[in-house]
């Protein structure tokens, strides 16, 4: 049986899976967008989307597979990833790519890059010697100077009247993004953000810090997905969807 399965092309297997999902009425996303986003954000109109800490743009690709994009702002501080993003998203009328970090001020600061795992790079230095992270053997990061902009500044500069979906993946610096984006939050429908239950970076925020900021500004917690766990099985990170109750969609 396993030999026969290997003879079946992967795309046929995938289509068969989707066909079965349709019969059983199981929700799914062909583009791998988290299902909770699809639940709260209808596809009826083109969307405005901001991807903070977009890396090579995988999450943005997923969103583009499900939604028509009116305007997308992709923000990434690691310089070597900018040409990748420019190649992946060439339409400059739709995609604005910014080589910077998002923080609570418009300035310049140090940014810590992990060359081996660039997706854990951050404005904050990782606690790579903590027991929870020892098994990963994370090397000491290198530092570069990066520009920082507030989310409010970016939205004003790009003349965004509303934000349908804001995604944040900044490795412990989520509170800095939110502090500099209070006005932007008022016109944001959904925020999909990574978070940590324990501080894994210098002066990093944890889930409860973010929850208070969102709660104080009219958001409800719609879902949590588990993410990275320690070798002992302790859940350390996850992804959360917050929905602006003042902009709830029927």
Same domain, yes or no: 61 and 19:
no
Please name which of 132, 164, 149 lies closest in space to residue 231, comparing C-alpha atoms: 132
Q: Comparing 46-55, 102-111, 135-144, 173-182, which segment has the lowest mean pLDDT? A: 135-144
Q: What are phi and psi of 61, to 5 degrees?
A: -60, -40
Same domain, yes or no: 26 and 98:
no
Same domain, yes or no: 25 and 37:
no
Percent of the residues in the chain that have a pLDDT greater than 70, as a whole number: 86
Q: Comparing 110-119, 132-141, 164-173, 199-208, which segment has the lowest mean pLDDT? A: 132-141
pTM assigned to the model: 0.87
Same domain, yes or no: 201 and 160:
yes
Residue 72 pairs in a beta bridge with: 49, 95
Same domain, yes or no: 19 and 44:
no
| DSSP helix/strand/coil, 118 | helix
Same domain, yes or no: 23 and 89:
no
pLDDT at 92 over 60: yes
Average the pLDDT over 211-235 and give the result: 93
Same domain, yes or no: 127 and 194:
yes
Same domain, yes or no: 118 and 202:
yes
Structure tokens, 139 = 């090397």
Q: What is the DSSP letter of 140?
A: P
CATH value at residue 165:
3.40.50.150
The single residue listed with the structure tokens 């092309």 is 9
170-218 per-position pLDDT tens digit: 999 999 999 999 999 999 999 999 999 999 999 999 999 999 999 999 9
Average the pLDDT over 76-98 and give the result: 97
Instruction: Supply the pLDDT for residue 32.
Output: 74
Rounded Cα gap, residues 134 and 138, in angstroms: 7
Q: Can you give the residue range of the structural domain that contains 134?
A: 33-247
Helices (H), the chain: 2-7, 10-24, 35-40, 58-66, 82-88, 151-157, 174-179, 182-186, 207-216
- Report the 3 state secondary structure along 180-216: CCHHHHHCEEEEEEEEECCCCECCCCCHHHHHHHHHH
Same domain, yes or no: 24 and 96:
no
Q: How many domains does the chain have?
A: 2
Same domain, yes or no: 14 and 118:
no
7-52 per-position pLDDT tens digit: 455 555 444 443 434 443 344 355 579 999 999 999 999 999 999 9
Confidence of residue 123 (pLDDT cuts 50, 70, 90): very high
Instruction: Supply the pLDDT for residue 110.
Output: 97
Of residues 51 and 135, which shows the higher confidence score?
Answer: 51
Same domain, yes or no: 17 and 37:
no
Q: Comparing 19-33, 97-111, 136-150, 172-186, which segment has the lowest mean pLDDT? A: 19-33
């Amino acid at each position: 049986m396993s030999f026969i399965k290997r003879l079946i092309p992967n795309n046929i297997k995938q289509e068969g899976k989707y066909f079965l999902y349709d019969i059983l009425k199981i929700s799914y996303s062909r583009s791998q967008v988290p299902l909770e986003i699809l639940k709260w954000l209808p596809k009826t109109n083109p969307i405005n989307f901001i991807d903070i800490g977009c890396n090579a743009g995988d999450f943005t690709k997923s969103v583009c597979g499900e939604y028509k994009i009116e305007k997308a702002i992709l923000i990434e501080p690691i310089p070597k990833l900018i040409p990748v993003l420019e190649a992946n998203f060439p339409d400059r009328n739709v995609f604005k790519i910014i080589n910077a970090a998002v923080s609570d001020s418009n300035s310049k600061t140090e940014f810590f890059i992990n060359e081996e795992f660039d997706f854990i790079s951050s404005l904050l230095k990782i606690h790579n010697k903590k027991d929870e992270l020892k098994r990963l053997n994370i090397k000491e990061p290198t530092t570069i100077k990066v520009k920082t902009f507030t989310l409010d500044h970016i939205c004003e500069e790009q003349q965004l009247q509303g934000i349908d979906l804001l995604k944040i993946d900044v490795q412990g610096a989520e509170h800095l993004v939110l502090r500099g984006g209070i006005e932007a939050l008022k016109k944001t429908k959904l925020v999909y953000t990574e978070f940590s239950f324990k501080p894994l970076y210098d002066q990093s925020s944890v889930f409860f810090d973010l929850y208070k900021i969102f709660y104080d500004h009219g958001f409800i917690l719609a879902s949590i997905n588990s993410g990275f766990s320690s070798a002992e099985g302790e859940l350390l990170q996850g992804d959360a969807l917050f929905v602006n109750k003042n902009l709830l969609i029927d």
